[in-house]
């Protein structure tokens, strides 16, 4: 990395070095939701709304054992699903979305989770963030960039976007990031947000990208 490049450089110039440093810092960055199929990832991602991945991963083993495919979820007793996912919060709405999504997957997509953005967005409870998680992690299709709370926070702190709306942040990130890095970018920012760039007390001294961060206090 050139010694000339600083936090004052345009985002288009900093994004490459930022990605390289984060890849080196977090070589294990990947989706934290445990899953064995696109359907399991879809369900886990729906459950992760306003809930930690750790909590979701405690709930899903029993849930997936009880409902092994989309038809099982589609035909499930809604109350039973609610009870199994109760600890993830907003359980009634989540159970409704999971069941209605699976009903559509069975009826319209022969039980297979769609592998494109347009069809995924027709499923109950699925917006771009969830669709991007499924496409990127389950199908390795970089159609967009996942913007969760960590990505939003780091994109703003790094001055990669000045927006607050997740879809606008996503567009800003897509505009400056090579397409073959769209999937990795979200994983890297999420891991960095959890391990280093905490919401309340960022550990700037230990941050590998502090020289490229306008918000660094180091």
Which stretch of DSSP H or E encloses residue 33? none
- Residue 4: predicted pLDDT: 72
Token match 């961060």: residue? 213
Domain 38-112 has CATH 1.10.340.30: yes
Active site residue 148: yes
- Residue 217: predicted pLDDT: 84
Active site residue 129: yes
Return the domain boundaries, the chain.
11-30+144-212, 38-112
Domain 11-30+144-212 has CATH 1.10.1670.10: yes
Buried b (16+ CB within 10 A) or exposed e, 42-65: bbbbbbbbebebeebbebbeebbe
The token pair at 163 is 């927006």
Give the number of other Cβ atoms within 10 Å of residue 164's Cβ.
9
Choosing from 53, 115, 119, 148, the catalytic residue is 148
Choosing from 94, 129, 143, 172, the catalytic residue is 129
Q: Give me the tens of pLDDT residue by residue for the chain, a chain 218 residues long.
A: 445 799 999 999 999 999 999 999 999 999 999 999 999 999 999 999 999 999 999 999 999 999 999 999 999 999 999 999 999 999 999 999 999 999 999 999 999 999 999 999 999 999 999 999 999 999 999 999 999 999 999 999 999 999 999 999 999 999 999 999 999 999 999 999 999 999 999 999 999 999 999 999 87
- Residue 3: predicted pLDDT: 53
Which stretch of DSSP H or E encloses residue 39? helix 38-47
Q: Read off the DSSP letter of residue 181.
A: G
The terminus-to-terminus CA distance of the chain in angstroms comes to 19
Q: What is the pTM of this model?
A: 0.94
């Amino acid at each position: 990395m050139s010694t000339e490049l600083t936090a004052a450089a345009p985002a288009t110039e900093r994004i490459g070095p930022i990605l390289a440093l984060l890849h080196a810092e977090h070589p294990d960055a990947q989706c934290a939701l445990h899953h064995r199929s696109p359907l399991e990832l879809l369900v886990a991602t729906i459950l992760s709304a306003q809930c930690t991945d750790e909590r979701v991963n405690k709930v899903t083993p029993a849930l997936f054992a009880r409902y092994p495919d989309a038809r099982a979820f589609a035909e499930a007793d809604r109350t039973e699903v609610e009870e199994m996912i109760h600890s993830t919060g907003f359980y009634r709405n989540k159970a409704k979305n999971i069941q209605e999504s699976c009903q559509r997957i069975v009826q319209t997509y022969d039980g297979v989770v769609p592998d494109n953005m347009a069809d995924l967005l027709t499923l109950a409870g699925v917006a771009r963030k969830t669709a991007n998680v499924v496409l990127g992690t389950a199908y390795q299709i970089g159609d967009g960039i996942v913007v969760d709370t960590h990505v939003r926070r780091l994109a703003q702190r790094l001055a990669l976007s000045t927006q607050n709306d997740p879809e606008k942040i996503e567009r800003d990130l897509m505009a400056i990031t090579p397409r073959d890095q769209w999937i990795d970018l979200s994983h890297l920012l999420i891991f960095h947000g959890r391990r280093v760039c905490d919401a309340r007390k960022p550990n700037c001294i230990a941050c590998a990208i502090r020289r490229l961060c306008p918000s660094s206090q180091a």
